[in-house]
C-alpha cells in the first residue's frame, strides 16, 4: 500500500460526494418524470439535463485534478 497525501484524499472525498449527489439527482429527476403530464417532453429534457450534469461534473473533476497536479510541481 502506498501513502495518500492530503490532496489525493480531498479528491476522493469530493468524488464520493459527487457520486452521492448524482444518485440523489437521478432520484429527483425520476420523481419529476412520473408527475408530468407529457412524459415524452420530460424524458427528452431530463436526458439532456442529466447528461450535461454528469459531463460538467466530469470536467470539473478533471480541472481539479489538473490543478492539484500543477500545484504539486511548484
> What would the pLDDT profile of 15-74 be if each residue is shown by its tens digit?
888 888 778 877 877 776 666 666 666 677 777 777 788 788 888 888 888 887 887 665
Q: Compute the distance between CA of residue 35 and CA of residue 31 in angstroms, rounded to an integer.
A: 7
Q: Compute the distance between CA of residue 23 and CA of residue 8 in angstroms, rounded to an integer.
A: 23
Specify the residue for cell string 452521492. 20
pTM: 0.54
- List CB contacts of 34: < 8 A, sequence separation 6 or more: none
Amino acid at each position: 500500500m502506498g501513502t495518500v497525501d492530503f490532496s489525493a484524499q480531498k479528491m476522493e472525498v469530493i468524488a464520493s460526494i459527487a457520486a452521492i449527489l448524482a444518485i440523489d439527482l437521478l432520484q429527483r429527476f425520476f420523481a419529476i418524470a412520473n408527475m408530468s403530464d407529457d412524459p415524452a417532453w420530460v424524458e427528452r429534457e431530463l436526458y439532456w439535463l442529466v447528461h450535461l450534469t454528469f459531463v460538467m461534473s466530469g470536467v470539473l473533476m478533471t480541472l481539479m485534478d489538473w490543478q492539484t497536479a500543477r500545484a504539486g510541481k511548484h
